[in-house]
Structure 1
Amino acid sequence: MLGGTFDPVHLGHLRSAVELHEALGLDRVHMIPAAKPPLRGEPRVTPEERLTLLRLGIGDTPGLVADPRELRRDGPSYSADTLAELRREYGPEARLVMALGHDAFLRLAEWHAPSRLFELAHLVVIDRPDHEAPLPDALAALVAGREVDAVAALMAAPSGGLLRLRLPSRMAISATELRRRLAEGRSVRYLLPEAVEARILDHGLYRQ
């Protein structure tokens, strides 16, 4: 599971999903747009439009799935609820993984029912070079005893582990900067998949 606002989806999101699929040996990566992200502001375009852009971005990429399940639920888009749905679908023995970026990981203790996440899945943190910095106390307590240092160790159980993973292609693309460029009528070529760029421009999305 790789969640996010995908506001809009860009090549950094998609490349990370492909590399997670390969590095962890996953059957598939569910890319799940949040309808109402609890800890972020309201996205600029509707959840349905962000899902459409995500589907265009994924295209026929093997192993990636645009998953609309959070758009079908009322209320905030809690990851614990999403993982519970996936656990029911795949069964108790499946290896489930939730991937998140380092900045999101640092706020994990503020999430809804954070300990429940580990009951339902493993967490994989897409790391950055300064990850050795001390964790906030609440986060350190939450992840104590859970961290492993290899994919094989993580996959030895269906859930409960934490792995920090350095991906080969850390593409420094910011959705915030993309929205700014689109609002100003500046080029976003080579930052988005062509099909995503075309729909955004054809429909005037993210224009002020």
Structure 2
Amino acid sequence: MARFVAEASRPRRIAMLGGTFDPVHLGHLRSAVELQEALGLDHLHMVPAARSPLRDSPQIAPEERLALLRLGIGDTPGLVADAREFGRSGPSYTADTLAELRDAYGEAARLIMVLGHDAFMRLPEWRDPYRLFELANLVVIDRPDHEAPSPQALAELLSGREVDGVADLMASPHGHLLRLTLPSRMAISATEIRRRLAEGESVRYLLPEAVESHLLAHGLYRSRSRPR
């Protein structure tokens, strides 16, 4: 009984995993499930960017990417396909999304922004990166085989923020950073999936079956030069 009381009284643990999801694939979804398990999350919001300031524009419409994400998530407990960035004009800034989630869940919630290693290395280029730490904790999905030193601007941004474990991360609603290695580390590339679809090659076992069926049925990412 005491365990259930403690769980009911602890602050909620909410994470945001953003990206273009162009298209969502099994690497995204497996990482989301493993993040839930590792961090003890109540909800993980998967937030497709309408237009990323640091990446090329997605190949298909936001509504299609959202539909694919919903198909991919299916009935997985705790995962949320979050369309909030589609309602804004201009580029999708993560700080604005975190501010909305902070307002929704309250000041005590442990709000976590999850990002991959490549995005993490470019963190100083983001708009107002210090504000991210004012709103949330950050979790970096680490790459154990990557040992390049951090750029000076990134090292300055992270000064005094890194913690060693989940308990230390969850001790505060915001302000810390944890590097986390996930068990599966599925090396699936959305770029390669788009190429395969454009060339009519198989994408079996790279995508959830429902996502694959929808893509093929609607001819998404197919090369216009190929007959339909």
TM-score range relative to shorter protein: over 0.9
Give the SS at the match of 1:96. Answer: strand
**Structure 2 counterpart SS, 1:12:** helix
1:106 maps to 2:141: no
Distance of 1:98 and 1:32 partners within structure 2: 11
Over the aligned positions, Cα root-mean-square deviation in angstroms equals 0.7
- Which consecutive residues of structure 1, in runs of 5 or more, have no partner in the other structure? none
Partner secondary structure for residue 148 of structure 1? coil
Matched, 1:178 2:177: no
Distance in 2, matches of 1:28 and 1:131, equals: 29
Using the TM superposition, give the Cα deviation of residue 132 of structure 1 relative to its aligned residue in structure 2, in angstroms.
4.0
Shift of 1:75: 1.1
- Paired amino acid for 1:150: G
C-alpha distance in structure 2 between counterparts of 1:131 and 1:29, whole Å? 26
Give the structure 1 partner of residue 226 of structure 2.
none
Quick one: distance in 2 between partners of 1:22 and 1:129? 20
Query: What is the rounded CA distance, in whole Å, between the counterparts of 2:88 and 2:164 in structure 1?
Result: 35
Tell me what 1:15 maps to. 30
Q: Any idea what the Cα deviations from partners look like across 1:27-47, whole Å, max 9, x if unmatched?
A: 010000000111000100011
Counting matched residue pairs gives 208
Q: What stretches of structure 1 move > 3 A for 4+ residues in a row?
A: none
The 2-side partners of 1:113 and 1:207 are apart by: 38
Runs of 5+ unmatched residues, structure 2: 1-15, 224-228
Counterpart of 2:67?
Answer: 52
Q: Which has the larger radius of gyration?
A: 2
Alignment of 1:84-123 (within 5 A): 84-123=99-138
Of 31, 41, 45, 1:26 maps to 41
TM-score (norm 1): 0.99
Q: Distance in 2 between matches of 1:141 and 1:30?
A: 29
